[in-house]
Amino acid sequence: MWLAGGLHLNEEGLPVNPLKWWIQQARGGNTHGGLLHMALNVLSCPATTVDVERAFSFGRDYVSFKRHRLSASSVTRGMTIAFYSKSGKIKPGTLRKWKENQKNEQKKKTKGKSRDK
Pick 25 or 49 by higher pLDDT: 25
**Within the chain, where are the H helices?**
18-27, 35-43, 50-62, 72-86, 94-116
Q: What is the pLDDT of residue 1?
A: 41
**Domain coordinates of the chain in residue numbers?**
2-43, 50-116
Half-sphere exposure of 23 (CA within 13 A, CB side): 7
Beta bridge partners of 15: 9
pTM: 0.40
Question: What are the tens digits of pLDDT across the range 72-100?
Answer: 888 888 888 887 888 888 888 888 898 89
Contact 27, 21 (CB under 8 A): no
Burial 51-66 (b: 16+ CB within 10 A, else e): eeeeeeeeeeeebeee
